[in-house]
Structure 1
Amino acid sequence: MVEQDEKRILETPSIASTDTSFDPEVLISNATYATTSTTNDGTPLPADASSPEEPLAPQPRRPLRRRIMSLELPVFLLFLAIMISGPVMLNQELYQTCVAVYHYNESACEPLRGIIPKTEEAKVMLNNVWPGIVVLFIGPWSDKFGRRPVLLVTYAASFIGYILTATLVSVSETLSLNPWFYLLGGIPFTIVGGGTAMMTIVFCYISDVSDMESKAKRMFYIDMTMGLGVVAGNVLGSYLLRLTSVTVICAASAVLVLSALLYVFFFIGESLDVEEASFSHKARNFFDIGLIKALVRACVARRPNYGRAIIGCTNSISVVMNFIMSGEISIFYLFLRNKFNVTLQQFTYYNAAAITIKMLGCGVAFGIFRKLFKVSFAMVAIIGLAGCIFDSLTRALAQSFWQMYMASGFGFMSGITAPMLQAIISFAVPSNEIGKVFSLSSCVNTLTPLAAAPLYTLVYNHTLNIYPGLFNFISVGLYVECIVVMILVYICQRRIANRSNALESGSETEESQIRNIPTETAQPARTS
């Protein structure tokens, strides 16, 4: 019953929804009375497509596309490549700074390979500001020209970047290379929007090819795949470095990304029915200001069934959660090292264990609450946010390092929140607008580290000698605010469900009365 109510929340009354028959004549007659909408360029949409005025109207099942396969494998390969080479390159940059910039002896700089650099201002600006701008155009552009070109370009740019990085590292083994040259390896991927653009299109693609029942499950699988890639990369990176070299690791990352690129090229088809256009036409329209106008219209358009409020609240929760994560990442290792004297190896193992616990918790939560008890997405998200509060609160009060593992256990269901939020948004927005909404959310999420990292660092530096874990209470307060907003979303959904139930019961009573009219009028005729 809960699952049926949740489906009603996302539907609006329309002629097409009054008959579930697949008779062609019925479908044609229903389409005759459907409202005609237009795209951004004025082209009429089909009668069965959603529009900003009626975005939650049920859409007919899209014909099966034989080339469409899952995106979990290429996403896993990309995250595995990033996590294998990422920590290794951080240490390599610090080592090259010691050798090439400060001109210390190589033997004196060798111990620096096991230390995490404290600041990376150039990388933060490079990886956050420009992708945040590009993603505003990528979402609306993909709504118009398709998701597959963006996937191909982002994976190709990542492959080129790893080739450049491997070449630069190989050159630095013979020449004293300034570490600023390593930034060249990240430029291709950053120019096309980086991981922000790629993951935005991945979630748009999943929303396009999934039906109502499987959207949340597919979002959950993508998040699980990213977690597996992070854990496997963290574990394998240090072992590969002992057996090989930094150049070999960067080359291995390039091979992994190339495999993902070939998979997308041969097995992933387009998820949307897009207009045919030349490459030059698509390129000219990428930085079209009209795309930004369409994005704003899609995000602020009035929608039935509290659609605009639900989208705004859900996006705000996603932004706040990303703000918390960005702030904690900037100081978490320093916090553990100063309070518990944690080494880099212990920190790596703790990260892998915490991610594994959350992945298992996500699987358990999804299986129990969604599959078994059919709990609504909003309620599952509230449960996940409660886990986030217990996790942060326990870390704030921890006095021993083992209690950090206990905190991860208390928050083992906290990872289920993100896929539930993505599922709620994908239900509330039609396929021809999902890229615009996801783009705005991704843009804000990309820029949040620029505010979160300074805030958390400021609080940590001022409370280091008094209470190093005080910054965790900031996270607790922000998570409480997220729960309050999510409860409002749940209340809106329950009100819509109750209204739908009342309308259905009223229509059933009316139908029963109509059926009884011929019987009552015919009975006296037989008795007389």
Structure 2
Amino acid sequence: MVKGTIGSIFSVIICIFIGPWSDRFGRKPVIVANLIGFTLSAILVVIYCFFDKLSPWYLAVCSLPETLTGGFATLFTMIISYMADTSTEDNRAMRMVVFEAVLTVGSLMGAIPSSYVFYLTSYQAIFGIAAICHIIAVVYTWFFVPESVTNAETENKVGEFFILDNVKDMVKVAVKKREHSKRAVICLCVGILTVYIFIINGNTLTFQYLREKFGWTLTRYTIFSSIESVVWTIGSFLATYILHKVLKVTESVLILVGCISMLNTSLLFALARSNAVIYATPAVKILGSLISPMVRTLVSNMVDHEEVGKLFSLINSSEFLLGIGAGPLYTLVYNKTLDTDAGLYNYLSAGLFGLMILMIGSVISLQLKSSIPTTIYEQLDEESESTAATGFQSNAPTGH
């Protein structure tokens, strides 16, 4: 817990500075350095596993390379920024969905076979495989991933990193005045994503809840969780393609639908009295997969190209920083209500999803207010021009 908390805080600090810096000097150097940090940490863990009597505190030392290079917060920020750089408004949403789907599939590919590999081999083999995967990622990124920032600066890279102007620029992206209420929309979207990640980070008690209330085993939960992830991934692809690409449903409406889907899922978990209700939740939850990619697509479409890194640094820093307190809060609620009903903590998630619905409702309202007047005025102008032309024709002298 200490290792995770300290690492998360330091990663957030790096993330705050790295976004504005990468807008000027490029995304690729950060991604490569970050992957090298993960690789070195994985190698150190392999070495640690060869010594049975070493204190667990040495694991904190093993995590130093990945922490000092920004951790997952920085890697996530850079990849999202890279995709925003290399995509258009037409294909950005689908790319965001693909990215999050790949994360889900990758997690499954690692989680499902890892226990079997461990039983057949050892800890050294498990972490050795992880180190090899990181090395492959470094090599692939170095040789095959082009830089996405055009005309990236090359001078004084190190000296321009830890300067307060980077933080000021990051904050300005969110608070500077923009036309069509974009500033308010961006701030609301930052809030939506922050609350959403807070729920995801805190809501890790599903197995304990199902074991306590329905007597589930870890094997049963693993199978259920895997099926849920597959349904989630397939649903995100189909929903994005059909609703967004084909039917042209806007990002904000899809976010609203996703929030309602997740709210209903939380209520089902809270009210469930049988396994059948739990088995139905993946189908209800399926559109919740749209929330994160659609919010990121919406905000990236509202800022200039050179502001993308700053914006996602702000978003991801907020997510990871507030996410630190999510686990303790949910655990506290779960422990306090366990004797009454193991599922009562789900009402906390439901309430937060309700808050997200209010925020995305405000976004939709702002978008309507900024677009409707223009349309009305255009229609009035056309009608007045048409009336004037008709009146002129009726009053014009006729020849005999």
Q: Same fold (TM over 0.5)?
A: yes
Instruction: Give the match for residue 145 of structure 2.
Output: 268
Q: Which residue of 2 aligns with 1:156?
A: 36
Q: Tell me, in whole angstroms, the C-alpha distance in 2 between the residues paired with 1:396 and 1:509.
A: 55
Is residue 2:82 matched to residue 1:205? yes
- What is the correspondence of 1:275-286 to structure 2 with a 5 Å cutoff? 275-278=152-155, 281-286=156-161
Partner of 2:162: 287
Distance (Å, rounded) in 1 between the aligned partners of 2:66 and 2:160:
20
| The one of 9, 19, 23 aligned to 1:143 | 23
Tell me the residue number matched to 1:190.
67
Structure with bigger RCO (C-alpha 8 Å, 6+ apart): 2
Deviations 1:91-122 (A, max 9, x none): xxxxxxxxxxxxxxxxxxxxxxxxxxxxxx21
Count of aligned positions: 397
1:472 is the counterpart of 2:346: yes
TM-score, scaled to structure 2? 0.93
Evaluate the alpha carbon distance shift between residue 513 and residue 162 of structure 1 in structure 2; reply closer, same or farther with a 3 A threshold: farther
Q: Deviations over 1:456-499 (max 9, x none)?
A: 11111111111111010111111011111101111222233323
Provide Cα deviations, 1:120-147, integer angstroms capped at 9, x if missing partner.
x213213321111111101111111111
Partners of 1:511 and 1:284 in 2: CA distance: 60
CA distance in 2, matches of 1:437, 1:504: 33
Query: For structure 1, which segment, 302-311 or 487-496, has the greater mean C-alpha deviation from structure 2 after superposition?
Result: 487-496
Residue segments in structure 1 that go unaligned for 5+ positions in a row: 1-120
Native 8 Å contact 1:165 1:184 kept in 2: no
In the other structure, the counterpart of 1:296 is 171
1:452 Cα deviation after fit: 1.6
Equivalent runs, 1:29-68 vs 2, <5 Å: none
The answer (yes or no) to whether the contact 2:19–2:312 under 8 Å persists in 1 is yes
Counterpart contact for 2:24–2:153, Cα < 8 Å: no
Q: CA deviation at 1:512?
A: 8.2
Deviation for aligned residue 1:449: 2.8
Residue of 413, 417, 423 corresponding to 2:291: 417
User: Which of 495, 498, 502 is the matching residue for 2:372?
Assistant: 498
**2:19–2:310 Cα contact (<8 Å) kept:** yes
Task: Give the one of 367, 375, 389 matched to 2:249.
Answer: 375
- Residue 309 of structure 1 is matched in structure 2 by 184
Provide structure 2 residue ranges, at least 5 long, that are not aligned to the other structure: none
> CA separation of 1:513/1:192 partners in 2, compared to 1, >3 Å: closer, same or farther?
farther
Matches within 5 A, 1:363-402: 363-402=237-276
- 2:46 match: 166
Letter in 1 for 2:77: T
User: How many angstroms does 1:222 deviate by?
Assistant: 0.6
The separation in 2 between residues aligned to 1:477 and 1:352, in whole angstroms, is 26
Pair 1:256 & 2:137 matched: no
TM-score (normalised: structure 1)? 0.71
* Structure 1 pair 273–372 and aligned structure 2 pair: CA distance change class (3 A): closer
> For 2:339, what is the secondary structure of its paired residue?
coil
Match of 2:109 in 1: 232
Deviations 1:316-354 (A, max 9, x none): 01111111111111x333222222333322232222122
Report the AA paired with residue 457 of structure 1: T
Residues 101 and 233 of structure 2 are in contact (CA less than 8 Å); yes or no, is this contact kept in structure 1? yes
SS at match of 2:158: helix
Shift of residue 418, structure 1, vs aligned partner: 0.6
Deviation at 1:237, TM superposition (A): 1.1
Q: Counterparts in 2 of 1:87-106, with a 5 A limit? A: none
CA deviations over 1:132-182 (Å, ceiling 9, x no partner) = 11111011111111111111111111111111111111x22xx42222222
Percent identical among aligned pairs is 30
Q: Does 1:407 align with 2:271?
A: no
Q: Does the aligned pair in 2 maintain the 1:154–1:198 contact within 8 Å?
A: yes
In the alignment, the residues of structure 2 paired with residue 161 and residue 506 of structure 1 have an alpha-carbon distance, to the nearest angstrom, of 65
Cα distance in structure 2, aligned partners of 1:455 and 1:248: 36
CA distance in structure 1 between the aligned counterparts of 2:79 and 2:133, rounded to whole angstroms: 18
Q: 1:432 aligns with which of 306, 318, 342?
A: 306
What is the distance in 1 between the residues matched to 2:136 and 2:83? 20
Q: Distance in 1 between matches of 2:372 and 2:120?
A: 62
Q: Does 1:242 align with 2:116?
A: no
Matched-pair contact (CA < 8 Å) for 1:317–1:482:
yes
